[in-house]
Amino acid sequence: MRSPIPILLLTLSLPMQANAQGTTVVEADRLVLAPGTVLEGNAARLAYRQGKVTAVGNEIPAAVLESAIRVKYSGTLVPGFVNPHSQLGLSADLGERIDAFTPSLQAVDAFDPFSETLEQQVRGGVAGIGLAPTSGNTFGGLAAVVTWDGEEGQVLAEVSYLKLAIVAESLDQSRFPTSRMGAADLIRSNLLMANHPLAGADPDHQVLKDVLAGSRKMAIHADSHAEISVALDLCAEFSIAPILIGCKELHDSIQRLAGSEVSVILSALSMESKQSQLNLPAELAEAGVAFSFMAEDAESLRLSAALAVHAGLSRDQALAAITSTPASQCGVDDLLGSLRVGNSASFCVFSGDPLDLTSKLIAVHIDGKAIALRGAKDEAR
Amino acid sequence: MNPGKISPAERLAQLPKGLRNNVSDRSLPLGPQAKYTNPPMPSISQARGKRFRRSPRSFPLYLLASCLWLVPAKAQEPEADHNHDRQFAIRVGTLHPVSGPAIESGIILVEGHRISKIGKQGEVDIPEGAQIIDLPGTHAYPGFVDAMSGAFLQTRELKNSSVDGGTRIVDGLNPYDQISLGLVQAGVTTAHVSNRSEGIWRGLGTILRPRSTGFDPMAGKEEAGLGLRMTSGKAPRHILTRKKQLQAIGKSFEALEAYKEAFTKHEEASEEYDEKFAAYLKYHATKKDDEAEPEKKKSDEGEATDKQRRGRRGAGRRGGGRRGEGRRGRPEGKKPPAKQPKPEDEEKAAKPEEKPEAKGENKPADSKDEQAEKAPERPKFPKAPKKDPAKEALLAVQDGTLRLRIEAHRPDEIRAAISLARTQKIQHTVLEFATAAGAFPEELADAGIPVLLSAVDASSARIYGVEDRTTLAAQLTEAGVPIAFTSGGSNRRSQHLPMLAAIACGHGLSEEIALRAITLTPAEILGIADQVGSLAAGKFADIVISSGPLLQSDSRILRVFSGGDLQFEAN
């Protein structure tokens, strides 16, 4: 044997190697690549290199299998969760209430990479968070998608969807609009102006132009039935397929959404939620409407999915609501939401099915790097 | 008989019986046919002395017959009688008795309202004529026990500042509360309802059995626990302020000794009074006989004194009998007392104003040899102390009849609760929430105090200074403290008890203990483990049938039996 020093260096630098050069193959009892695509038994393995998934299942070359670092977990491996709408505890910094029309403001400018809420969410299994402006403005601004790599926060997408709000929170008596009527007028007039050929190329209307052209998504926060109706009417006027956020009283409008491209971000379900809210996910799934959950922490996200399953939603659709659907709503489905080749190697491992609350979170990997769980000491894998 | 013309006798016969007596039909011939004639109207002076009947003779019979409808409403299920003999068997996929290991291909035999036997299919004989319910592939669990529920409470009770230790919560429940009616659908068959009011003493909680149409109070458990709020709430307050509050609570128990003493003293005083008064009466009765003087008194007064004396023996509180007694005691010839004593003042004790007079007057008349000693004094009637329901509740807590349920969150609050239980030697103390107890669970274990948990899910909010509440259940169980998962007073949360158990499992608790924490452990904590909490012979037939293992998210509850009655069936 040659001198042990290179091997010693090799072993000492293992944690960094996993990211830098070598491939890591992770195995589990069950591997869920995407809701509906499950690998089991010997095929339940995934290879990643430099934070990106290189091969899955039986397609992993034997050579790679031999030379790679093998990690084995006993449990179910699922893609990391995606929380499509959160303020990460920065509500004060993300709301510019003075002017209700600020679509060009970017939430990423208020991002705090050392935020404790961010750290806790990621430690709980959330791989990506849609950092959105608050609902204090009619036109809040552009959301961003962020994550945490174990040391500090990282931005995955600087601009994602345009956040609007028509809830009571967005109405302020000290400035226009002070009523829902005024809010609807504000939205309509600005969208009309954006279409106008003589409209200025100011950044605000540029954003609206993108929305109208279809290259940028628009998300509206509306809770009550009236607010949801107004939002849908406005979007129908301009042929926009919005993302609806909140939607506590959506059950009356579900038929209207069926067959359209509208998707929904539901507020987190809890054990205190009304039965009508608990039944919403199953009804939306039946109508073929895509939906996801938003929450302020990882456990609430999982609890929402579990409560939806308890109320009749299928397990696949519940998992989609916290992985693939929010990833596509935020526009980061090439990175998160599923473990296809080329996606980020961000996943979490549970002792059983993650939708059964009896399962425990065993491991979280963000971009291939292991993250210590909440309460556990930081250790280099 | 002429057709078309009715004879008076026939007409009389057509009348209702009661009216016949008062018929004043002048066409009635007075003869053997007409036995009843209108009696002549008596004059006023005659009526005074006699009874004048206006109503038919059979009126009392009608009155009695109409009163038979007033059957007192029973608290228990009115179908109790004809369901008492029913027998049926339920065949399930897996039986989870909780008091024992799970049984595959299980069967439960129900007789009346109770379980008569459980076991494996084929090993248990099904009695003849018993209905068989086949539910293959399902899982059977005992009905859940929610030990800290807010079911059927009226919301204004929660903020009612007049709630104190003696308020009976069972008296203020609303059986039509919509959300509470969903409890039995979610499998909760027994619930301890308590108040979450803002005051220190929270009233007497009750144990009831929810139904699909209301609830039944559990027999003998209408007052099951006294609530005590030993916390200053979520808003942070200085520790010295909290300490003062906790000390004030301890003082409530100090007044109990004096209270109990007042009652024992009153009892002794009453006995003494009875003896002395008997002697007093005897003395004056013999004295009166000896003097053989007819007493001149009005007949109604004499009747009044007799009645009053009799009344006093019975009710013990009328002080108006002195009038007659005073007179009796006085020898004949002396003038009556200067002022007339006030009639029946129940609150005042017997005034001794007549006593000196009576005494003084007795002295000269005391000329007998047998009664050489002084005449016995008129004893003073002892005033009964007022019963205080709040103090009665505290006494029951000390006896062990009532459980003391203390809500405490912060470490100093929990420790104050433990020390209160110890110093006052309270037999059954139960801690509610105990949020910060994860740091010192052995203290609770040593004191033998069980804990009712509610918030087992993780939350980013740092409530009561505790960062992580998820590991509390596991830490307490490890130290040997019995725990139960409850709704914490929220009716919506009551419908997710299995999910609470599942969350606790996800944070380290074993599935067996988690399941027990929503069934048998709360039953034991409430003291009703002989009636509910597990599938065992002799207990109530409270059965929850689930489509899969209860702690799995996609298991639905298919049927719920409460006391053998089907309360919910999923479609």
pLDDT value at position A12? 54
In this predicted structure, the answer to whether residue A93 has a pLDDT above a threshold of 50 is yes
Question: Residues of chain B with pLDDT > 70: what percent?
Answer: 73
Residue A30, SS3?
Answer: strand
Lowest-confidence segment of A52-56, B36-40, B128-132, B302-306 by average pLDDT: B302-306
Contact B553 A296 (CB under 8 A): no
The residue-averaged pLDDT of A115-130 equals 94
Residue A149, SS3?
Answer: coil
Nearest-neighbour CA in chain A from B498: distance (Å): 10
The residue-averaged pLDDT of B235-257 equals 81
In this predicted structure, the answer to whether residue A308 has a pLDDT above a threshold of 70 is yes
In this predicted structure, the answer to whether residue A100 has a pLDDT above a threshold of 80 is yes
Average pLDDT of chain B? 79
Nearest-neighbour CA in chain B from A121: distance (Å): 9
- pTM over 0.95? The answer is no
Task: Judge whether A338 and A34 are in contact, CB under 8 Å.
Answer: yes
Checking DSSP bridges between strand B403-408 and strand B429-433, what pairing results, if any? parallel
B561 φψ region: left (φ > 0), alpha (ψ -120 to 50), beta (else): beta
Contact B551 A120 (CB under 8 A): no
pLDDT value at position B6? 73
Q: What are phi and psi of B109, to 5 degrees?
A: -105, 125
Measured between CB atoms, does A268 come within 8 Å of chain B? no
The residue-averaged pLDDT of A156-177 equals 94
Note if the bond before A177 is cis, omega within 30 degrees.
yes
Nearest-neighbour CA in chain B from A278: distance (Å): 11
Residue numbers of A between 339 and 368 with CB closer than 8 Å to B: 355-361
Tell me how many degrees the CA angle B148-B445-B255 measures, rounded to the nearest 5: 70
Contact A297 B459 (CB under 8 A): yes
Q: What is the DSSP letter of B168?
A: B
- Indicate the residue type of B429: T
Nearest to B325 by CA among B271, B272, B376, B382: B376
pLDDT value at position B346? 40
Measured between CB atoms, does A91 come within 8 Å of chain B? no
Task: Judge whether B304 and B324 are in contact, CB under 8 Å.
Answer: yes
The residue-averaged pLDDT of B410-415 equals 90
Cβ count near A376 (within 10 Å): 9
Cβ count near B237 (within 10 Å): 13
Nearest to A350 by CA among A19, A117, A18, A32: A32
Taking CA atoms, what residue in A is nearest to B514? A358
pLDDT value at position B344? 44
Enumerate the β-bridge partners of residue A146.
Answer: A129, A155
For chain A, the straight-line distance linking the first and the last C-alpha, in angstroms and rounded, comes to 27
pLDDT value at position B548? 95
Contact A307 B496 (CB under 8 A): yes
Nearest to A130 by CA among A150, A152, A155, A109: A155
- H-helix or E-strand spanning residue A77: strand A76-79
pLDDT value at position A207? 93
Handedness of CA A230, A231, A234, A236 (dihedral sign): negative
> What are the pLDDT digits (tens) for A181-214?
999 999 999 999 998 877 767 899 999 999 999 9
Lowest-confidence segment of A370-379, B22-31, B327-336 by average pLDDT: B327-336
pLDDT tier at B64, thresholds 50, 70, 90? confident
Q: Across the interface, which of A272, A296, A357 has its CB nearest the CB of B553? A: A357
- Token duo for residue B57: 């003779």
- Most A-contacting residue of B466, B470, B491, B554 (CB-CB within 10 A), to test interface: B554
Q: What is the DSSP letter of B153?
A: B
Residue numbers of A between 103 and 132 with CB closer than 8 Å to B: 117, 120, 124
The tokens 């509050």 sit on which residue?
B245
Contacts of B70 (CB under 8 A, 6+ apart): none
Nearest-neighbour CA in chain B from A166: distance (Å): 27
How far, in whole angstroms, is CA B295 from its chain's centroid?
51
pLDDT value at position B38? 60
pLDDT tier at B295, thresholds 50, 70, 90? low
pLDDT value at position B3? 52
> What are the pLDDT digits (tens) for B176-219?
888 898 999 999 999 999 988 888 888 899 999 999 999 999 99
Measured between CB atoms, does B456 come within 8 Å of chain A? no
pLDDT value at position A3? 64
| Cα–Cα distance, B458 to A2 (Å, whole number) | 52
Contact A310 B511 (CB under 8 A): no
B500 contacts in chain A (CB < 8 Å): 271
Residue numbers of A between 271 and 300 with CB closer than 8 Å to B: 271-275, 296-297, 299-300
Contacts of B531 (CB under 8 A, 6+ apart): B218, B523, B539, B540
B508 contacts in chain A (CB < 8 Å): 360
In this predicted structure, the answer to whether residue A322 has a pLDDT above a threshold of 70 is yes
Taking CA atoms, what residue in A is nearest to B499? A357
Q: Across the interface, which of B182, B457, B507 has its CB nearest the CB of A303? A: B457
In this predicted structure, the answer to whether residue A1 has a pLDDT above a threshold of 80 is no
pLDDT value at position B359? 43
The residue-averaged pLDDT of B450-464 equals 79
Who wins on pLDDT, B322 or B536?
B536
Question: Residues of chain A with pLDDT > 70: what percent?
Answer: 92
Measured between CB atoms, does B490 come within 8 Å of chain A? yes
A246 φψ region: left (φ > 0), alpha (ψ -120 to 50), beta (else): left
pLDDT value at position B354? 42
Among B32-36, B65-69, B239-243, B538-542, top mean pLDDT goes to B538-542
- Indicate the residue type of A359: S
Nearest to B484 by CA among B513, B442, B441, B446: B513
Nearest to B142 by CA among B193, B102, B86: B102
The tokens 């601004």 sit on which residue?
A141
From residue B35, give the alpha-carbon distance in Å to each of A369, B15, B22, B28.
114, 14, 12, 10
pLDDT value at position B330? 46
Measured between CB atoms, does A310 come within 8 Å of chain B? yes
Burial of B266 (0-12, 13-18, 19+ CB in 10 A): middle
In this predicted structure, the answer to whether residue A380 has a pLDDT above a threshold of 50 is no
Nearest-neighbour CA in chain B from A305: distance (Å): 9
| Cα–Cα distance, A86 to A153 (Å, whole number) | 15
pLDDT value at position B70? 65
Question: Residues of chain B with pLDDT > 90: what percent?
Answer: 43
pLDDT tier at B53, thresholds 50, 70, 90? low
In this predicted structure, the answer to whether residue A274 has a pLDDT above a threshold of 90 is yes
Lowest-confidence segment of A70-84, A226-240, B295-309, B332-346 by average pLDDT: B332-346
Task: Judge whether B133 and B90 are in contact, CB under 8 Å.
Answer: yes
Task: Judge whether B92 and B107 are in contact, CB under 8 Å.
Answer: yes
3-state SS track over B421-462: HHHCCCCCEEEEECCCHHHCHHHHHHHCCCEEECCCCCCCCC
pLDDT tier at B343, thresholds 50, 70, 90? very low
Contacts of B150 (CB under 8 A, 6+ apart): B158, B193, B194, B196, B487, B489, B490, B491, B494
Cβ count near A135 (within 10 Å): 26
pLDDT value at position B24? 52
B502 contacts in chain A (CB < 8 Å): 306, 356-358
The residue-averaged pLDDT of A126-140 equals 95
Taking CA atoms, what residue in A is nearest to B556? A310
B457 contacts in chain A (CB < 8 Å): 271, 299-300, 303
pLDDT value at position B300? 46
Contact B508 A307 (CB under 8 A): no
In this predicted structure, the answer to whether residue A17 has a pLDDT above a threshold of 50 is no
The residue-averaged pLDDT of B337-362 equals 43
From residue B23, give the alpha-carbon distance in Å to each of B35, B47, B62, B63.
11, 21, 20, 22
Who wins on pLDDT, B338 or B531?
B531
pLDDT value at position B164? 82
Nearest to B393 by CA among B164, B192, B229, B149: B164
Who wins on pLDDT, A343 or B328?
A343
pLDDT value at position A59? 92
In this predicted structure, the answer to whether residue B485 has a pLDDT above a threshold of 80 is yes
Q: What are phi and psi of A38, to 5 degrees?
A: -125, 135
pLDDT value at position A345? 96
Residue by residue, DSSP assigns B206-261 as EEEEEETTEEEEPTT-SS-EEEEE----SS---HHHHHHHHHHHHHHTHHHHHHHH
Nearest-neighbour CA in chain A from B112: distance (Å): 33
Who wins on pLDDT, B46 or B486?
B486
